[in-house]
Amino acid sequence: MSIETKNPTGTELRAEIDRLRKERNAVILAHYYQKPELQDLADFVGDSLELSRKAADTDADVIAFCGVKFMADTAKILSPEKIVVLPDMDAGCSLEDSCPPQKFKAFREAHPDHVALTYINCSTEVKALSDIIVTSSSAETIISQIPKDQPIIFGPDRHLGGYLNRKFGRDMLLWPGVCIVHEAFSEKELLKLKAQNPGAPVAAHPECPPTIIDHADYVGSTSGILNYAKTMPGDTLIVATEPHIIHQMEKALPMKRFIGAPGADGNCNCNICPYMALNTMEKLYACLRDLEPRIEIEEGLRLKAKQSLDRMLEMASGTVGKGDLGRI
């Protein structure tokens, strides 16, 4: 059977997405790093923990996930009866890529007395090999509940793990993964920007290296940074995370000024996540129309991965929306 190939554009495209959303009983979830036009038409925009909770709670038949694959996988793990579509299946993550399941399994087996605390930015297979998942907004609450004498391995983000080690006086063994986006901020350029904007605070995501975190007035998840923008002193904020989050800040706080922290070239465009950027309005329309590309997970694997995610949701309860890792 041939499918209509003429694709809508402009306002017609937006109207078609709305029509399909109703027809499919679909919910559109979007991360703060998505393009503004995708954030604006989503039913819900949030950080990784909030999006996981929404995916677990929704009564929609279809979840269209404007984010990256590990987020859509998480939605499917928590809501297996729903159809979960991702506009572009190549929307991956450097942290997930840095942690192949076989190598992570060997790491685990080499440290049998350690708890495996794992950042949500990883594959379903790695979640299945983990004890507890954390997001940047739940990590502090969760690590506080693990006895001090319990050894921990932490993967895949060595910067988030290092931040937690420093803040909580822990000695977690760290997997050597990094986020290529947060790794690209330049300390030298940040110091220049601070000098040009005296008194402006810096808010940083914990995926940043310590050279950036050391200059931050606030460290937290994307939702945490958004909340900080509302309560910070002054009217200018330097934002050391993926710059598309600034769209939400400008909408909520039009009287304030938000400046993306720079990379080595002196501007913030090199810090756009290339994976998140693969999703477009056109691809969202196509995935709602075709219900493809679709996330599928083998049931045994899903159940194993769900255990570590359920543990996160239980241990994190009460933290949703705070997103706060505080300041070392």
Q: How many residues does the chain have?
A: 328
Phi, psi of 236 (to 5 degrees): -130, 135
> 183 with 263: CB under 8 angstroms?
no
Closest to ligand 13P by CB, 108 or 205: 205
Q: How far is the CB of 319 from ligand 13P (least distance, A)?
A: 12
Site for ligand SF4 in 287-326 (CB under 6 A): none
Distance in angstroms (rounded) separating the CA atoms of residues 291 and 83: 8
DSSP secondary-structure letter at 185?
A: B
Residue 185 pairs in a beta bridge with 263
Note whether 134 binds ligand SF4 by CB under 6 A. Answer: no
Position among 39, 123, 137, 165 found at the interface with ligand 13P (CB under 6 A): 137
Closest to ligand 13P by CB, 180 or 291: 180
Could you give the 3-state DSSP secondary structure of residue 69?
helix
Distance in angstroms (rounded) separating the CA atoms of residues 91 and 161: 24
Neighbours of 211 (CB within 10 A): 12
Is 130 a known ligand-binding residue? no
Closest to ligand SF4 by CB, 33 or 285: 33
Site for ligand SF4 in 70-129 (CB under 6 A): 93-95, 121
Neighbours of 20 (CB within 10 A): 21
Is 48 a known ligand-binding residue? yes
Note whether 121 binds ligand 13P by CB under 6 A. Answer: yes
Note whether 279 binds ligand 13P by CB under 6 A. Answer: no
Is 99 a known ligand-binding residue? no
Closest to ligand SF4 by CB, 140 or 242: 242
Position among 84, 116, 219, 273 found at the interface with ligand SF4 (CB under 6 A): 273
Residue 31 pairs in a beta bridge with 46
Edge to edge, the sheet with strand 152-155 lists: 132-134, 115-119, 152-155, 173-174
> x-or-dash pattern for ligand 13P, window 18-37, by CB under 6 A?
-------------x-x----
48 binds, among ligand SF4, ligand 13P, none (CB under 5 to 8 A by kind): ligand 13P
Is 136 a known ligand-binding residue? yes
Note whether 136 binds ligand 13P by CB under 6 A. Answer: yes
C-alpha R_g of the chain: 20
Distance in angstroms (rounded) separating the CA atoms of residues 43 and 121: 23
Distance in angstroms (rounded) separating the CA atoms of residues 133 and 78: 13
94 binds, among ligand 13P, ligand SF4, none (CB under 5 to 8 A by kind): ligand SF4
Phi, psi of 75 (to 5 degrees): -60, -40
Residues marked as binding for [4Fe-4S] cluster? 93, 179, 273
Binding site for ligand SF4 (CB under 6 A): 33, 68, 93-95, 121, 179-181, 207, 242, 273, 275-276
Binding site for ligand 13P (CB under 6 A): 31, 33, 47-48, 121, 135-137, 207, 221-222
Residues marked as binding for iminosuccinate? 31, 48, 119-121, 136, 205-207, 222
